[in-house]
C-alpha cells in the first residue's frame, strides 16, 4: 500500500516507526515529516495545514491510506477531502474533530449527556466576562473556545491574571478567531491523567494511561507548554477508576457523538482530572497526544497499522489490542526559551555512541529537527522526546535520563523530575 502520514513532530515520529514495521506498507511518505521521520518515510515538503497540497500529493502518488495526526488538518477537514478522493484515512472527519476544535461544543456535549466536567459559563462579550471574573472566587480557569496551539488556557490565581487572560483573548485577540468566544470554568483539583483511546464509533479501546507534565520547569512551575515529559502507565489511574471512566465518560462520549451525527473514528484523547468527586473531563482532543504518543505507543504489543485499518473500516471489535506489562518514561529536550522565544539551527550531538537508542528500550523521537547531510539541526521549541521502556517506572526513569546524558545541543533544557513524584 502507498501510505501517507501528515505531521512532523515527535508524535508522528513514533507513529512512523510502528507503521513502517507493517509489511503491507510499501511506499511511505510523511508530509512534512522531520529529521527523525526520514529514517522511516520519505519526507515531502508540504505543510500539514496545506490541505490542497496534501490532497494533490495523494492523487499524484496513488495514496491508499492516510494517517492525519495533528489537530489543525483534522479541524480543517483533511479527512473529508481525502476520503472524497477515495483515500482511506485514520482520523476523524471535520464534523467529529469539533470535539477538540470547539471547547464550547465539547462542554455542551458533556452537559447534555451528564458526562462529568468542570462547571462553566460561555462569554461572547468582554464586559460581561470581566464583570463575571470580578465577582468570582479564584483560582478560576479562562479558556479560548478554539484551537490555540495549546496556549489558550489560563489557570488564574487572582483577579489580575483572570482579567489579563480575558483581555488577551477578547481585546488583544492573541488567538485570533479562536478567542472571540471564551469559557470561564471552575478550577478542578487532583491528579491529571491522559487516556488515549482507539475508536471506530462502535467500539472503544482505551490505551495504557499516561501522565503529561505540562509546566515548563521542575516542580510543576512556570508556564504551560505542549508537554515536557510523560510517564505511562499513570500510577494514579487504578483499575477501579478505569472502570468508572469507561462507564461514565468513554462510552457516553462515543454514544453522544453518534447521537449528534458526528461519529468519531480515530484516536480520542481524554484529559481527565481525578477529583475528590470522581474523575472529570478537562478536555478532549481528536488525536494522539504529543508527547503521550511517544510514551504509550512503545508499550503497544499489537500492530499499530492493523489497528488503524480496522478503525477506518469500523471493525475494531475484531482486533485484540494488547499492551506490554511495562512502564515508559519520556523526557522532552527543548530549546532554551521555550515555550517563549527560542533560537534554532544548532547541531545536535547524540554522544559517543552516536545514538542513545543503543541503550535497549530507548527511543529518541525527533520533535523539531531537520536533517542536513549526516547532521541533525534543531528546528523547534520541543526538539527531542527521549523515551525509555523498562519493567517498572523507576528503571524506565533511570534509563531515560541515562540516555538524555548522551545528548547535547546549544541551549538544551529539560525537566529533571519527570515521573519523580
Q: Which residues bind ligand AMP (CB under 6 A)?
A: 118, 141, 150, 153, 155, 185, 187-188, 192, 214, 224, 271, 282-283
What are the distances in angstroms from CA 184 to CA 123, 129, 131, 142?
A: 8, 8, 12, 5
Q: Is residue 406 a contact residue for ligand GLY (CB under 6 A)?
A: no
User: What is the DSSP code (8-state) at residue 150?
Assistant: T
Whole-number minimum distance, CB 292 to ligand AMP, in Å? 11
Q: Which segment (45-53, 121-129, 273-281, 287-295) binds ligand GLY by CB under 6 A?
A: 287-295
Q: Which segment (178-186, 289-297, 313-321, 337-345) binds ligand GLY by CB under 6 A?
A: 289-297
Q: Is residue 292 a contact residue for ligand GLY (CB under 6 A)?
A: yes
Residue 75 DSSP SS3: helix
- Residue 33 near which of ligand GLY, ligand AMP, none (CB within 5-8 Å, type-dependent): none
- Residue 70 near which of ligand GLY, ligand AMP, none (CB within 5-8 Å, type-dependent): none
Angstrom distance (rounded) from CA 366 to CA 384: 5
Q: Which is nearer to ligand AMP, 117 or 327 (CB)?
A: 117
- Residue 227 near which of ligand GLY, ligand AMP, none (CB within 5-8 Å, type-dependent): ligand GLY
Q: Which is nearer to ligand GLY, 250 or 284 (CB)?
A: 284
Read off the C-alpha cell for 181: 468566544
Angstrom distance (rounded) from CA 11 to CA 330: 12
Angstrom distance (rounded) from CA 135 to CA 152: 22
Q: Which is nearer to ligand GLY, 185 or 292 (CB)?
A: 292
Other residues' Cβ atoms within 10 Å of the Cβ of residue 269: 21
Whole-number minimum distance, CB 225 to ligand AMP, in Å? 10
Q: Which is nearer to ligand GLY, 17 or 213 (CB)?
A: 213
- Nearest-CA neighbor of 260 among 402, 392, 118, 112? 112
Contact 389, 327 (CB under 8 A): yes
Strands 2-7 and 65-68, by their bridges, are parallel
- Residue 192 near which of ligand AMP, ligand GLY, none (CB within 5-8 Å, type-dependent): ligand AMP
What are the distances in angstroms from CA 135 to CA 118, 120, 124, 140, 158?
A: 18, 14, 18, 11, 12
Whole-number minimum distance, CB 187 to ligand AMP, in Å? 4
Q: Residue 160, class by beta-carbon neighbours within 10 Å (0-12 exposed, 13-18 middle, 19+ buried)? A: exposed
Q: What are the backbone angles phi and psi of residue 107, rounded to the nearest 5°?
A: -65, -45
Number of residues that bind ligand GLY (CB under 6 A): 8
Q: Which is nearer to ligand GLY, 229 or 310 (CB)?
A: 229
Three-point CA angle 59, 18, 282, nearest 5°: 90
Q: Which is nearer to ligand GLY, 382 or 399 (CB)?
A: 382
Strands 278-285 and 375-378, by their bridges, are unpaired
Whole-number minimum distance, CB 265 to ligand AMP, in Å? 22
Whole-number minimum distance, CB 316 to ligand GLY, in Å? 22
Angstrom distance (rounded) from CA 267 to CA 199: 6
Angstrom distance (rounded) from CA 128 to CA 266: 38
SS3 annotation, 77-134: CHHHHHHHCCCEEECCCHHHHHHHHCHHHHHHHHHHCCCCECCEEEECCHHHHHHHHH
Q: Is residue 279 a contact residue for ligand GLY (CB under 6 A)?
A: no
Contact 143, 186 (CB under 8 A): no
- Residue 289 near which of ligand AMP, ligand GLY, none (CB within 5-8 Å, type-dependent): ligand GLY
Among 70, 73, 92, 227, binds ligand GLY (CB under 6 A): 227
Tell me the per-residue interface mask from 124 to 163 with ligand GLY, x by CB under 6 A, - otherwise.
--------------------------x-------------
Whole-number minimum distance, CB 288 to ligand GLY, in Å? 7
Read off the C-alpha cell for 228: 515536557
Whole-number minimum distance, CB 296 to ligand AMP, in Å? 17
Q: Which is nearer to ligand GLY, 292 or 406 (CB)?
A: 292
Q: Is residue 260 a contact residue for ligand GLY (CB under 6 A)?
A: no
Contact 139, 155 (CB under 8 A): yes
Q: Is residue 289 a contact residue for ligand GLY (CB under 6 A)?
A: yes
Q: Which segment (112-120, 139-147, 161-169, 286-294) binds ligand GLY by CB under 6 A?
A: 286-294
User: What is the DSSP code (8-state) at residue 203?
Assistant: -
Q: Is residue 100 a contact residue for ligand GLY (CB under 6 A)?
A: no
Amino acid at each position: 500500500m502507498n501510505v501517507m502520514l501528515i505531521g512532523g513532530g515527535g508524535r508522528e515520529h513514533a507513529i512512523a516507526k510502528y507503521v513502517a514495521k507493517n509489511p503491507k506498507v510499501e511506499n511511505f511518505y510523511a508530509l512534512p515529516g522531520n529529521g527523525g521521520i526520514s529514517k522511516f518515510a520519505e519526507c515531502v515538503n508540504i505543510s500539514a495545514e496545506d490541505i490542497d497540497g496534501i490532497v494533490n500529493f495523494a492523487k499524484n502518488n496513488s495514496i491508499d491510506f492516510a494517517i492525519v495526526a495533528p489537530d489543525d488538518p483534522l479541524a480543517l477537514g483533511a479527512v473529508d477531502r481525502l476520503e472524497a478522493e477515495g483515500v482511506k484515512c485514520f482520523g476523524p472527519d471535520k464534523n467529529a474533530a469539533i470535539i477538540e476544535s470547539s471547547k464550547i461544543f465539547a462542554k455542551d456535549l458533556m452537559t447534555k449527556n451528564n458526562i462529568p466536567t468542570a462547571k462553566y459559563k460561555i462569554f461572547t462579550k468582554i464586559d460581561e466576562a470581566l464583570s463575571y471574573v470580578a465577582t468570582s472566587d479564584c483560582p478560576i480557569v479562562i479558556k479560548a473556545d478554539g484551537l490555540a496551539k495549546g496556549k489558550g488556557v489560563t489557570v488564574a490565581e487572582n483577579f489580575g491574571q483572570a482579567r489579563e487572560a480575558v483581555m488577551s483573548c477578547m481585546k488583544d485577540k492573541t488567538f485570533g478567531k479562536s478567542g472571540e468566544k471564551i469559557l470561564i470554568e471552575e478550577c478542578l483539583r487532583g491528579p491529571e491523567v491522559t487516556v488515549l483511546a482507539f475508536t471506530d464509533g462502535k467500539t472503544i479501546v482505551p490505551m495504557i494511561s499516561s501522565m503529561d507534565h505540562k509546566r515548563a520547569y521542575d516542580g510543576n512551575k512556570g508556564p504551560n507548554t505542549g508537554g515536557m515529559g510523560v510517564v505511562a502507565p499513570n500510577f494514579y489511574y487504578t483499575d477501579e477508576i478505569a472502570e468508572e471512566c469507561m462507564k461514565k465518560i468513554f462510552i457516553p462520549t462515543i454514544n453522544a457523538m453518534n447521537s449528534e451525527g458526528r461519529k468519531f473514528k480515530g484516536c480520542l484523547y481524554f484529559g481527565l482530572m481525578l477529583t475528590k468527586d470522581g474523575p472529570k473531563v478537562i478536555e478532549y482532543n481528536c488525536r494522539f497526544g504529543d508527547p503521550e504518543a511517544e510514551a504509550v505507543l512503545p508499550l503497544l504489543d499489537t500492530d499499530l497499522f492493523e489497528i488503524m485499518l480496522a478503525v477506518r473500516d469500523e471493525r475494531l471489535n475484531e482486533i485484540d489490542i494488547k499492551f506490554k506489562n511495562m512502564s515508559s518514561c519520556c523526557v522532552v529536550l527543548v530549546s532554551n526559551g521555550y515555550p517563549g522565544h527560542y533560537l534554532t539551527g544548532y547541531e545536535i550531538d547524540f554522544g559517543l555512541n552516536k545514538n542513545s537508542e543503543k541503550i535497549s528500550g530507548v527511543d529518541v523521537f525527533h520533535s523539531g529537527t531537520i536533517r542536513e547531510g549526516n547532521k541533525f539541526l534543531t528546528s523547534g521549541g520541543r526538539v527531542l522526546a527521549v523515551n525509555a521502556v523498562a519493567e517498572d517506572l523507576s528503571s524506565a526513569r533511570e534509563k531515560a535520563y541515562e540516555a538524555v546524558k548522551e545528548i547535547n545541543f546549544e541551549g538544551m533544557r529539560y525537566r529533571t523530575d519527570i515521573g519523580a513524584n
